Amino acid sequence: MAKWRRFYRVSITRRFMSMLIFTIMLILLGSILMVWGSSRLLSDYEASTREMKTKQELVSDIALHTNDIILRARGYYVYLTDFEYEQIFEQKEALEKSIAEFKQLGLTTSELEIIQAIEAFFDTYFSSTLPVAVEYAKSGNYEALRSLISADASNPVNELISYANDFEAYLRKAEQEKNTQLVRDFARQGILFILYVGLILVISLFIVRRMSVDLGGPLSNLSLAASRFARGDHAHFDYQEREDEIGRLARSLETMMITLHSKEEELVAQNEELLAQQDELQMQQEELEHALGKMSENERFLQKRNLLVQSLANTLNKQELLDSIITNLVKLTGSDKGMIILTGNGGDYSAYGLSDKAAEHFANHYGESLMARAIQKRNLYIHEREATDAERAYHLDGIKVTDTYVPVLGDNDEIIACLLLTKIGRELSDQEQEEISGLATQISLALAKLGIYEESEYQRQINHDMLNTIQEAVQLVDTNGLTLHVNRMWYEMFDLKTCVEYGGRMELADFNELLQKKVAEPQALIQFIKQVVKGEVAGVTSMNYELHEPVKRYVQIYYEPLYRGSELFGVLLVHRDITKEYEVDRMKSEFVSTVSHELRTPLASVLGFAELLLHRELKPDRQRKYISTIHQEARRLTTLINDFLDLQRMESGRQSYDMKPAKLGELVQEAMELQKVNVSSHNLIWKDEAREAIVFADRDKMLQVFTNLINNAIKYSPHGGKITIHLRTEKGRLLVTTQDEGLGIPADALPNLFNKFYRVDNSDRREIGGTGLGLAIVKEIINRHKGDISVHSVLGEGSAFTISLPLFEPQEQGGEEQSYPSPSDTGAADIMLIENDRNLAVMLREELEGNGYRVHLFTEGSTAVHAMKSISPKVVVVDLMLETEFDGWAVIEQMRSEDKLNQIPIVISSAFEEQDRAAKMGIRHFLIKPYEPHKLTVIIQTILNQEPAV
Amino acid sequence: MAAILLAEDEPVLRMLVMDSLEDEGYEIEVACDGEEAFERIQEREFDLIILDYMMPKMTGIEVIERTRELENRKHTKILMLSAKSQQTEQDKVLQAGADDFMSKPFSPLDLIAKVGDMLDG
């Protein structure tokens, strides 16, 4: 029992389920009882009804069979048929059967009486009556029969029939009673069931109430306690002892409350910690916000700066840059107008929103404006003022204007530019001021960049000019063979305009191709360059090659490796045009060879004939002939040597000329006289149309000229003929022509006619003999006299040589005098010429005077230096080798040591090649004798053009 | 007697050589320049050809080269006279096909001896 109790107490569900099952069981039991009751009532009713029916049917059957027996008997009486008879017995059997059945049933007394009566009747009937009656019938004794029948007929049978009828009525009545009874029973049963259900409901209500008291109360108490707890109040309940869910719930709740309580404490601690953290975070956030503010401020500034940088025209043109700076700065700072001025040389400036006049005025006077303060402060200076009328335009009320003076500082804190920004009607915030300062730094950078660019551009230009001035073709090739840079001379040498036809990039292969086209025997050169580029050449540092296009040149190529740090960067190929040297060299060796040939020929004759004379027995006429030949050849040798030495002297400038005014006609005639001895069949004609013409000349040399010319005319007219010498003046010059009717000169020989040892290559002329130097000497002498010689010749008809000399102007009193014109003479520049070779001095003096300079000629250095202070010449031309101890170098040193003289440009004119020493003394102008006089003029002009301030 | 062709443009030297060799009994024919010399060479066969190096119209070297190109002049003796005495010049001459070389100035007696040697050999 205790176990069951525990079973129930443990679970509310179990309890609830038990109660529910109990209730349902009661209802079910009630229902079953009711159904059972009803069905029993019904079955009782049906059983009694069926019994009565069966009784009734049996009564009916009995009645019927009885009736039939009687009737069949009577039929048989009448008809005497067997069938009727048999039927009587059949009916008797059926009757007996029914009676037997009937007897089985519960019979009332009356019924038993009736049945017994019937049985008694038929016992009699069949045992007596019938066999009698049958006998009567068979005997036809109807009378007896009738009486017999009538005697016994009526009693039990009729009685039975009426009973049957009565019984039927009784049954009907009994059935009715039964029905009524049944209805009554049902009604009673229904009432009982309703009462029963009501009882169950009451029980249920009781159960529910118990349940609600048992569950609802504690639950609501618990929920109240929970909600109180949730509200934070103290909650108390005491269901913990219970074993069911409530108990468990209560315990759990209590545990939970305890846990929560402890958690809460923990949480409170955590919360406090969090709060502290939050405070900290908040502080950090504030800091961050502050930083963010600064950053966005910075960002704004940077944006502006970037805008400035981006918008600054990407130019390296100063003016463009300034324009760009001021335009953008005015826009960026929200100013209305502004101006930037560079403080350096040139004072470039650019204005925005200003009239040209105002801008120019400020550019010239900014130093006197408030800018001076900004410059002094080296910081912004802000000035607020009322707008001027112009600035106010049509506004009538006063407008505030803010001028911001900004000095732009360079790297070394020097002022490189000044800025003025003007804002009309708006104030300049502190932040804007800072921004302007920042932008000023940016501008400083831009200007510095420009400065660097200008400087590097200047350097580049200098380098470029230097490179292009060099007379060597310079080519920089990198280690891959790509040509990186060439100079002007290079283009000239290879006859290229640009490298464009090589796609702007000349690879080694392109260059080789170029060389293939332009160089004679290019393979060796190509190989050389290939090795040089690869850095493989050892020992050989240069080679020579021959260019045949565009003009024939001999070129020496040498190279210098170019290093960047320690790494080979490329190779500098230098193509040096050595055509002149080559020619000189070639001419020299040719000359030596020629001289040797020219000397050996007469020597061979002299030696040969002398040997024959010595070792042979010869006839006197042959001896004579040989001796005469020896003499002639020895003379030829002498002439040759003399001519040769003359020419050498003249060419080297060492030949001195004794220049004097001379009547040329007389000289020519003298020469003619001298040559008359050589004349055989020639007719010398003298045609003088300038008898009194005077030239400034060295008599002896002029005599040599005409002797040579007349001698040539005679020599090369082996068959005689007229030789006309014609003297005349033309356009201030004296012309002398020697015309012969001789062999003439082939046209191809004319260009070389005046070259040394040149002889028209023809055997018949070999007979004529000659040194091949005569005309070269003539030309040299004539050049020295500022003259010209020309030739006109037709092969086989004769030749005409014409000499042209300047006529001597009598007012020119020669060059000997040493005048000291006063420095106050104006006009032409004073040039001092210190030269001890008088001929040369006179010549140079004429050259310079002819070009409008005033020349002061000195032969001694000391006198010259002494005079220099009073003359103050613009240029001093000095020979190094002067006659006294006081030579050219002494003059230069003296000049350098004196303040008044050390700035005077010096030109050295000397036969010594001492350019290095001159360069050390800072003298760049060096003329090596012999030189053409006009070169001096060119140099002096250059100097005076370059140095106008001296 | 042996026939010698002398090609020399300098008349004085021509006379010297001619006189020297004629006295020895040689038959001398002269030419005044290279072209003329080559014409003579083509015309007839000489026992010896004496050529000056520097001659107008055709140099001695050219004459030698052209002579050696001729079918029947391959072995004609050639002596070259030259004012150029350098070894290189001599080599050039010998390479071109000359048999011997004498530089100017030369001794007539040496020349006679050399000519004799060449004709004997």
| Model pLDDT for residues A374-416, shown as the tens digit of each residue | 888 888 898 888 888 888 888 888 888 999 999 988 888 888 8
Other CB atoms within 10 Å distance of the CB of residue A148: 20
Q: Is the pLDDT of residue A818 over 70?
A: no
- Across the interface, whether the CB atoms of A596 and B32 are under 8 A apart is answered no
Q: Could you tell me whether strands B3-7 and B27-31 are parallel, antiparallel, or unpaired per DSSP bridges?
A: parallel
> What would the two tokens of residue A785 be?
């006299």
Average pLDDT in chain A:
83
> Could A609 and B16 be called an inter-chain contact, meaning their C-beta atoms sit closer than 8 Å?
yes
- Given B9, B13, B107, which is nearest A605 (Cβ)? B13
Q: Which two tokens stand for residue A186?
A: 């049902």
Cβ atoms of residues A573 and A593 within 8 Å: no
Mean pLDDT of A787-796: 90
Query: Best interface-test mutation with B: which of A596, A635, A763, A767 has the largest number of B CBs within 10 A?
Result: A763
User: Over the stretch A854-874, which tens digit does the pLDDT of each residue have?
Assistant: 888 888 888 888 888 888 888
**Per-residue confidence at A95, pLDDT binned at 50, 70, 90?**
confident
Q: Which residue of A has its CA nearest to B84?
A: A597
| Amino acid A819: pLDDT | 41
What mean pLDDT comes out for the span A781-798?
90
Our CA-based measurement puts residue B33 at a distance from the nearest CA of chain A, in whole angstroms, of 6
Do A604 and B56 count as a contact with CB atoms less than 8 A apart?
Answer: no
Given a cut of 90, whether residue B51 has pLDDT beyond it is yes
For A806, the enclosing helix (H) or strand (E) is: strand A798-806
- On chain A, the residues whose CB falls within 8 A of the CB of B54 are 597
- The token pair at A804 is 């042209």
A17 has pLDDT over 90: no
Q: How far apart are CA A597 and CA A757, in angstroms?
A: 10
Type of residue at A229: F
Spell A717-742 as b/e; 16+ CB within 10 A means b. bbeebebbbbbeeeeebbbbbbbbbb
Of the candidates B11, B20, B56, which has its C-beta nearest A761's C-beta? B56
pLDDT digits (tens, 9 = 90+) for A355-368: 899 888 888 888 88
Are B9 and A763 a contacting pair at CB < 8 A?
yes
When pLDDT is averaged across residues B27-46 and rounded to a whole number, the result is 92
Q: Looking at beta carbons, which residues of chain A come within 8 Å of B23?
A: 616
**Coil, strand or helix: which one is A895?**
helix
Specify burial of residue A24 (Cβ count, 10 A radius: 0-12, 13-18, 19+). Answer: exposed
Query: How many CB atoms are closer than 10 A to CB A632?
Result: 15
Beta strand spans in B1-121 (E): 3-7, 27-31, 48-52, 77-82, 100-103
CB A555 within 8 A of CB A545: yes
From the list A442, A223, A414, A412, the residue with the least C-alpha distance to A329 is A442
In this predicted structure, what is the pLDDT of residue A853?
85
Does A269 score more than 90 pLDDT?
Answer: yes
Strongest mean pLDDT among A93-107, A306-320, A705-719, A758-772: A705-719
Q: Any idea how long chain B is?
A: 121
Least confident interval from A246-255, A765-774, A832-841, B68-77: A765-774
Q: Give how far the C-alpha of residue A577 lies from the chain's centroid of Cα atoms, to the nearest Å.
A: 44
pTM value? 0.42
Q: Which residues in chain B have Cβ-Cβ distances shorter than 8 Å to A602? A: 12
> How close does chain A come to B90, measured CA to CA in Å?
14
Confidence of residue A826 (pLDDT cuts 50, 70, 90): very low
B105 vs A604, A615, A763: nearest CB: A604
Inter-chain touch B19–A633, beta carbons under 8 Å: no
| % pLDDT > 90, chain B | 58
pLDDT greater than 60 at residue B40: yes
pLDDT exceeds cutoff 70 at B79? yes
Q: Which residues, at least 6 apart from A288, have a Cβ–Cβ distance to it below 8 Å? A: none
pLDDT band at A664 (very low <50, low <70, confident <90, very high): confident
Task: Tell which B residues from 43 to 72 touch A, by Cβ distance under 8 Å.
Answer: 54-57
| CB-CB contact of A612 with A629 (8 Å) | no
> From the CB of residue A380, how many other CB atoms can be counted at a distance below 10 Å?
18
Who's near A720: CB < 8 A, 6+ residues apart? A680, A681, A682, A683
- pLDDT of residue A846 exceeding 70: yes
Rounded CA separation A60/A45 (Å): 22
Which range scores top for mean pLDDT: A200-204, A303-307, A581-585, A733-737?
A733-737
Tell me the chain A residues in contact with residue B63 when contact means C-beta distances shorter than 8 Å. none
Mean pLDDT, residues A530-542:
79
Q: Is the pLDDT of residue A508 over 90?
A: no
Over residues A654-677, the mean pLDDT reads 84
Domains in chain B: boundaries: 3-120
Cα angle A534, A540, A542; round to 5? 90
Contact B57 A605 (CB under 8 A): no
| Cα of B55 to nearest chain A Cα, Å | 8
Give contacts of B107 with chain A, Cβ < 8 Å: 607-608, 611
Q: How far apart are CA A242 and CA A890, in angstroms?
A: 141
Q: Is-contact A850 A709, C-beta < 8 A?
A: no
Residue A825 confidence (pLDDT) above 50:
no
Binary contact (B12, A605; C-beta < 8 A): yes
The residue-averaged pLDDT of A130-145 equals 80
pLDDT band at A814 (very low <50, low <70, confident <90, very high): very low
Express each pLDDT in A216-257 by its tens digit: 888 888 888 888 888 877 777 777 787 777 888 888 888 888
pLDDT over 70, % of chain A: 94
Q: Which of A613-622, A672-681, A910-919, A941-950 has the lowest mean pLDDT?
A: A941-950
Residue A438's nearest CA partner among A320, A606, A298 is A298
Cβ contacts of A596 on chain B, cutoff 8 Å: 83-85
Give residue A812's pLDDT.
Answer: 42
Helix (H) or strand (E) holding A875: strand A875-878
Instruction: Please judge whether B54 and A597 are an interchain contact, meaning their C-beta atoms are less than 8 angstroms apart.
Output: yes
Contact A402, A428 (CB under 8 A): yes
CA-nearest residue of chain A to B52?
A601
Helix residue ranges per DSSP H, A212-237 = 217-231
Q: Does domain B3-120 have CATH number 3.60.70.12?
A: no
CA distances from residue A347 to A318, A358, A364 in whole angstroms, order as listed: 11, 15, 8
Which residue(s) pair with B97 in the sheet? none
Residue pair A808/A696 in contact by the 8 Å Cβ criterion? yes
Q: Which of A8-17, A76-85, A510-519, A857-866 has the highest mean pLDDT?
A: A510-519
pLDDT confidence bin for A101, thresholds 50/70/90: confident
- Looking at residue A541, its pLDDT comes to 82
Q: Does the beta-carbon distance from B55 to A593 stay under 8 Å?
A: no
Tokens of A562: 């170019």
Q: Which of A100-104, A521-525, A832-836, B4-8 has the lowest mean pLDDT?
A: A100-104
Nearest alpha-carbon partner for B88 in A544, A582, A761, A593: A593
From A485, A500, A449, A336, select the one nearest A402 (Cα to Cα). Answer: A336
